[in-house]
Amino acid sequence: MRIEEVISRDLKVPESLINEAISGARVRVKKFQIPKRSGGSREIFHPSKKLKVIQYWLMHSVFCNMPLSDAAMAYREGISILHNARVHSLNRYFLRMDFKDFFPSIRFEDVESHIKAWHRNFKPEWDLNDKSLEFINQSCFYKDARLAVGYPSSPAISNIVMRDFDSKILNEIGSEKYGDVVYTRYADDMVFSTNQKGACKEIIKAVKEIVSVCKSPVLEINESKTRLGSSTGGSASVTGLKICSDGRITINRKHKDHIRLMLSLFSKGKLDPKEVPSLAGHLAYCHYVAPDFHSGLSSKFFKEIHQIRTMDL
């Protein structure tokens, strides 16, 4: 069967609608800019509703069934940023590195071989040929066959493509000269931790060497975002969470101060009602990732937090 036939049957929509979505896949895309923390802006792409449905089918039926590296932490069921931080919590020294233009660096040709290997082993009911490969290309990749930031399928594809890279990193850091290193990657954010002083600087050299010879995908380190830190020095941060010297995980001081300020304003009736859902979100987040801090807030703002929880937001 053709892949369009299978999608049409599974989604219970005419095949003509599938073809229509694909024919306008790279034209009917909304683009907008969001500010970066470091300054400047990032372009986000939103596919049409019809194309988005096709991407979700491909994610569920194809991409989510492909093998991934154990180091890949992002966009995986049952794995959160808290889990990503916990695996590093017993180490003392930390290194963070990331890539420039991560998603656009990944092209269809980088995932094509993975799709072919999966199809041989999994044997789905649709045929794999040039037409079905081009269908996936048109569905999930933007102009120049590059991944787009904002496409629902981009994170899953990036994890598939990065499996070989992660394996090379894990093999390298398995050497005793770096100590007992933990490596995780959350999308483009690589985190290394170890208890061996000075090892992180050597890891930087090793990672740069692996990146320089990596042909699929072709990546580039974002030098301005390379960070060294230590839990004892208070600068250990993993996917936005702070790791304390005793291994506890919490949120950073700036975030805590922001939540306290919002609660204080709410208690005095001075918080903009439009900000209350945001405060509720912050409270739910810190209850999950920083329960000790949340307990402290509850002892001081018990009535306010209870009131927010019972509001219909």
Q: Kindly report, residue by residue over 70-99, the tens digit of the pLDDT.
A: 999 998 888 999 999 999 999 999 999 999
Question: Would the pLDDT of 233 be above 80?
Answer: no
Question: Would the pLDDT of 133 be above 80?
Answer: yes
| Over residues 19-47, mean pLDDT | 89
- CA dihedral 22→26→31→37, nearest 10 degrees, is 100
SS3 for 40? coil
- CA dihedral 39→256→95→213, nearest 10 degrees, is -40
Percent of the chain at pLDDT above 90?
88
Low-confidence winner among 35-44, 193-202, 246-255, 258-267 (lowest mean pLDDT): 35-44
Locus of tokens 């990503």: 84
Question: Would the pLDDT of 246 be above 80?
Answer: yes
Task: Report pLDDT digits (tens) over 104-116.
Answer: 999 999 999 999 9
Could you tell me the residue range of the domain that residue 298 belongs to?
A: 252-310
Look at residue 34 in the predicted model and tell me its pLDDT. 87
Percent of the chain at pLDDT above 70?
99
What is the Cα 280 distance to its own chain's centre? Answer: 23
Burial class (CB in 10 A: 0-12, 13-18, 19+), 264: middle
Look at residue 176 in the predicted model and tell me its pLDDT. 87
| Over residues 225-231, mean pLDDT | 92
Q: Is residue 38 part of a domain?
A: no
Q: Is residue 298 part of a domain?
A: yes
Q: Is residue 296 part of a domain?
A: yes
Query: Are the beta carbons of 84 and 186 closer than 8 angstroms?
Result: yes
Neighbours of 131 (CB within 10 A): 11
pTM reported for the whole predicted model = 0.88
pLDDT tier at 227, thresholds 50, 70, 90: very high
Query: Are the beta carbons of 50 and 11 closer than 8 angstroms?
Result: no
| Over residues 214-227, mean pLDDT | 96
How many residues would you count in the chain? 313
Look at residue 312 in the predicted model and tell me its pLDDT. 84
Averaged confidence pLDDT in the chain: 94
| 195 Ramachandran zone, left/alpha/beta (phi>0; psi -120 to 50) | alpha
Q: Is residue 291 part of a domain?
A: yes
Give the number of domains in the chain: 1
Q: Is residue 209 part of a domain?
A: no
Query: Are the beta carbons of 92 and 250 closer than 8 angstroms?
Result: no
E strand or H helix that includes residue 166: helix 163-173
Q: Is residue 282 part of a domain?
A: yes
For residue 224, give every residue at least 6 positions away whose Cβ sits within 8 Å of its Cβ, in sequence order, or none.
Answer: 38
Look at residue 234 in the predicted model and tell me its pLDDT. 66
Burial class (CB in 10 A: 0-12, 13-18, 19+), 309: exposed
Q: How far apart are CA 89 and CA 95, in angstroms?
A: 13
Neighbours of 267 (CB within 10 A): 14
Q: Is residue 259 part of a domain?
A: yes
Q: Is residue 241 part of a domain?
A: no
Look at residue 212 in the predicted model and tell me its pLDDT. 97
Look at residue 148 in the predicted model and tell me its pLDDT. 96
Residue 67: DSSP 8-state: -
| Over residues 284-291, mean pLDDT | 94
Residue type, 294: H
pLDDT tier at 222, thresholds 50, 70, 90: very high
| Diameter over CA atoms, the chain | 65
pLDDT tier at 163, thresholds 50, 70, 90: very high
- CA dihedral 150→152→158→163, nearest 10 degrees, is 160
